[in-house]
Structure 1
Amino acid sequence: MSKLQKGVHGWCTNETCFGSPSATPRTAPRRRSWRALLAGFAAACMIVPAVGAELTAVVPTVKRSVVGVGTFERTRSPSTVFVGTGFVVGDGLSVITNAHVVPEKLDETRMEQLGIVTSDGDTVRFRPAQLVARDNEHDLAHLRLSGPPLPALKLGDSDSVAEGQSLAFTGYPLGMVLGLHAATHRATLAAITPVVMPSLSSRKLDVRQLVQLQRTSYDIFQLDGTAYPGNSGSPVYDPASGEVWGVINAVFVKGLKETAISAPSGITYAIPVKYVKNLMQQK
């Protein structure tokens, strides 16, 4: 071990000296080497992985499978309207979205069609689809396309997801207000919670909650990310692999729907993807 001594040039070891601007030429090169070594060590400590690098690689792939869900009516202006988001799964001809995004009834007299909306640059394209299954309890719908398949997302295992995990979701916030430009948001799985929100007293139970209480309760994902009404039906996925773990269902909004735009709560709910798998088995 080096011994520390005080000399005319400052404090020294038997290897180099510090603290003196008047070091002899013999010690100056060694002092510069020592400082260079310290500077290199400090720089190495500052090298950290780029935050979000994995999500940057996954987003382009996910966006190819995300579509708008709406209707087309030739005599309407605009003829194509979409109000929610969907994503392609399976063989590339199945689209999953929320049940409340799909109209209960189409205007057959005006030849209104259900379908998906995609964008090719500045061109918006409508593609007809058939509703093949609807799960109102879990607010899910399965649409079926005809023609060439689209890139599909892989469904993951939602039972393996744990609280605290990082998530991402991609969709169309506010629907046509912002145009057909898919946006991606990061989120954390804040809680796995029952779908029925508990009331403080029986006086605060409304009809919707009473109906829900008659059904079998199930757990949903509570996210700390902010979603908007147009995000309904967006895929919630693993930022590293792109595997889908859930479907954006509803934004926790206090008051009127407009509050979701002016003062979003930052709390969003998602339906676990295992219910999507059950839905796709229905004919």
Structure 2
Amino acid sequence: MPIRLLCLCFSLFFALEPARAADLSTTIAAVKPSIVAIGTSLPTRSPAVIFFGTGWVTGDGLSVITNAHVVSNAIKADQKESLGIVIAGEGNTIAFRAATLAGVDPDHDLAHLRLAGGPPLPALKLGDSATLREGRELALTGFPLGMVLGLHHVTHRATLSAITPIIIPSIGARQLDARAIVQLARPFDIFQLDGTAYPGNSGSPVYDPADGTVYAVINMGFVKGFKEAAITNPSGISYAIPGRYVSALLQRAAQ
């Protein structure tokens, strides 16, 4: 390759990198108002609000999507508590809005909440997850370690590394729990990402860095050893539920 042409290629590469970073910066600012925390509120408790995971607003601005296991953990709490979303503002400012459970898809670990009154929130567009291919650049935003680090939006870049079956191979039958057995009977493909998701990222939207279109929902991190190792020794591998299952859950609520 001629030296002049080689220099031109390098110039184009380095010119594109700042543009990509600028696109993501703009997109993060646009999606943050739509990404909320999922928690419960009890005024007589300290702290009054407890965080369980991340969710994001879609549809008419009153629908919130998160993981089913996030909601399950929340509703196991004291019945006097109110389920809802926590809107993170500037600094330590937060606002709690009550919500009701509109639908659950336990097979794909998804839950649909409906805000109980109040103005609609900015909604994220749900894209066609079937169009994604391995190698696609993506981003995810949520509240990793929310009760430890505070409710501050955190964004990670990620690449769609593989489209793989939901079941993670077990060493032996003793490692198969009831949920894994159900998944063996009804397997489906899941997105494997090279971005690191921490506890608290469950329910985070996985979106296009250029325009914020959501294509998947963070489900779990593949961690080494015990759950606590996700903090000290993350694997760098995460999994996300394709958005087509979100579409199906929302359609059931509309029927």
> TM-score, structure 1 length as denominator?
0.80
Return the offset for 1:104: 3.8
Q: Which one-letter code corresponds to 1:191 in the other structure? A: A
- Which residue does 2:113 correspond to in 1? 143
1:83 aligned partner? 52
> How far is 1:134 from its partner?
0.8
Q: 1:48 aligns with which of 15, 20, 25?
A: 15
Structure having greater relative contact order (Cα 8 Å, sep ≥ 6): 2
Taking a change above 3 Å as real, the CA distance of residues 265 and 107 of structure 1, as seen in their structure-2 partners, is: same
- Counterpart of 2:231 (choices 237, 258, 261) is 261
Q: How does 1:6-17 map to 2 (within 5 A)?
A: none
Deviation of the 1:257 alpha carbon = 1.2
CA shift digits 1:172-194 (9 cap, x unpaired) = 00122111110110000000000
- Superposition deviation, residue 211 in structure 1: 3.1
Structure 1 position 156 matched with structure 2 position 134: no
Alignment length, in residue pairs?
A: 240
**Structure 1 residue 107 and structure 2 residue 74: aligned?**
no
Shift of 1:224: 0.3
Q: Tell me the secondary structure at the aligned position of residue 217 of structure 1.
A: coil
- In structure 1, distance between residues paired with 2:118 and 2:41: 18
Matched, 1:96 2:46: no
1:116, distance to aligned residue in structure 2 (A): 0.3
1:209 maps to a residue whose letter is A
Residue in structure 2 matched with residue 66 of structure 1 by the alignment: 35
Judged with a 3 Å threshold, the aligned counterparts in structure 2 of structure 1 residues 45 and 243 are, in CA distance, closer, same or farther, namely closer
SS at match of 1:67: strand
The one-letter amino acid of 1:142's match is: H
Computing the radius of gyration from Cα coordinates, the structure with the larger value is 1
Q: Tell me which amino acid in the other structure corresponds to 1:68.
A: A
> 1:163 Cα shift?
0.3
Task: Tell whether the 8 Å contact from 1:84 to 1:172 is kept in structure 2 after alignment.
Answer: yes
Gaps of 5+ in 1: 1-37
Q: Which residue number in structure 2 is paired with residue 128 of structure 1?
A: 98
Q: Identical aligned pairs, as a percentage?
A: 60
Alignment match of 1:235 (pick from 163, 187, 205): 205
CA-based RMSD: 1.9
Offset at residue 90 of structure 1 (A): 0.4
Cα deviation, 1:178-228, whole Å, max 9, x if unaligned, reads 1111011000000000001233554654444223223x1100000000110
Conserved? CA contact 1:193–1:221, under 8 Å:
yes
Residue 54 of structure 1: how far off its partner (Å): 1.4
Cα gap change, 1:240 to 1:74, in 2 (>3 Å): same
CA positional deviation for 1:156: 0.3
Residue 6 of structure 1 corresponds to none
Q: How far apart are the structure 1 equivalents of 2:48 and 2:169?
A: 42
Contact between 2:142 and 2:154, CA under 8 Å: does it hold in 1? yes
| 1:137 aligned counterpart, secondary structure | helix
What does 1:112-261 correspond to in 2, within 5 Å?
Answer: 112-121=81-90, 122-145=92-115, 146-202=117-173, 204-214=175-185, 216-261=186-231
Distance 2:64 2:145 in 1: 20
The one-letter code of the counterpart of 1:88 is: V
Structure number with the higher helix fraction is 2
Kept in 2: contact 1:106–1:113 (CA 8 A): no
Q: Residues 258 and 115 (structure 1 numbering): CA distance in 2 closer, same or farther, change over 3 Å?
A: same
Unaligned runs of 5+ in 2: none
Q: Tell me the equivalent position of 2:250.
A: 280
Residues 74, 149 of structure 1: alpha-carbon distance in 2 compared, 3 angstrom cutoff: same
1:7 is matched with: none
The answer to whether the 8 A contact 2:75-2:83 is kept is no
Q: 1:112/1:204 Cα in 2 relative to 1: closer, same or farther (>3 Å)? A: closer
TM-score by length of 2: 0.88
